[in-house]
Amino acid sequence: MLTKLHTNKGSQLVLGLATGFVFGFLLEKGGVARYDVIIGQLLLYDFTVLKIMLSAAATGMLGVYLLRGLGLAQLHPKPGSWGASAVGGLIFGLGFATLGYCPGTISAAVGQGWLDALVGGLAGIILGAGIFAALYPRLKPGILSKGEFKNRTYPELFKVNPWAVVIPAVAIIAAFLYWLESRGL
């Protein structure tokens, strides 16, 4: 692994900026810097968001697990619990539909010129994150640790070779996307 590069702070800031530039370019080209496209997904008539997310996940999965097998990458799966991931996920969902952007796509929306995203949404996200930081000491020992996941990834949970999960997962994603297209969605 490129440990020297990973610990070089200046290079990492430049790499972060460059990665974001490509990511933002792709999000804008994909149409997901637009409120109308994101709400169209949540109202289940425009599946652009899921098509992008699932094809990114399938592509990413194949490459990242291969790179890991070659010793060129390591995984960083987030810890989680029912209390954190499910409850937090549902709160996030309410915000997702009310705002019509998520933290990545709102940044792309700002780049496209959306002032509701810049003036309303960005300020709201920063405020919401700050409120969470203030409540964190009370939430952490309580609901956030309810039903903690001991195994962080499915291959660990099922105690199988990672490829026994990667290959079926990619196949299911491909089949789902094929089904969406065949329905004209």
Partner 1 sequence: MDWLTMGRWSPYAVGIGIGILSWLTFVLSDKPIGCSAAFARTSGMIERLFRGNKVLQKAYYREFPPRVDWEWMLVVGIILGSFTSAKLSGQFKLDWVPSLWAASFGPQPVTRVVVALLGGVLLGFGARWAGGCTSGHGISGTLQLAVSSWLAAICFFIGGIAAAFFIFRVLG
Of 27-66, which residues contact partner 1 (CB under 8 A)? 27-31, 33-36, 39-40, 42-44, 48, 51-64
Which residue from 69, 131, 171, 178 is in contact with partner 1, where contact means CB under 8 A? 131
Which residue from 4, 69, 105, 176 is in contact with partner 1, where contact means CB under 8 A? 105
Angle at 54 between CA 122 and CA 112, to 5 degrees: 35
Which residue from 69, 86, 172, 176 is in contact with partner 1, where contact means CB under 8 A? 86
Query: Does residue 167 belong to the site contacting partner 1 (CB under 8 A)?
Result: no
Query: Does residue 112 belong to the site contacting partner 1 (CB under 8 A)?
Result: yes
Size of the site for partner 1 (CB under 8 A): 127
Q: CA 123, CA 43: separation in Å to the nearest integer?
A: 25
Q: CA 74, CA 162: separation in Å to the nearest integer?
A: 13
Q: CA torsion sign, 92 to 95 to 101 to 107?
A: negative
Closest by CA position to 110, among listed 121, 99, 100:
121
Query: Does residue 2 belong to the site contacting partner 1 (CB under 8 A)?
Result: yes
Which residue from 69, 130, 176, 185 is in contact with partner 1, where contact means CB under 8 A? 130
The DSSP call for residue 116 is I
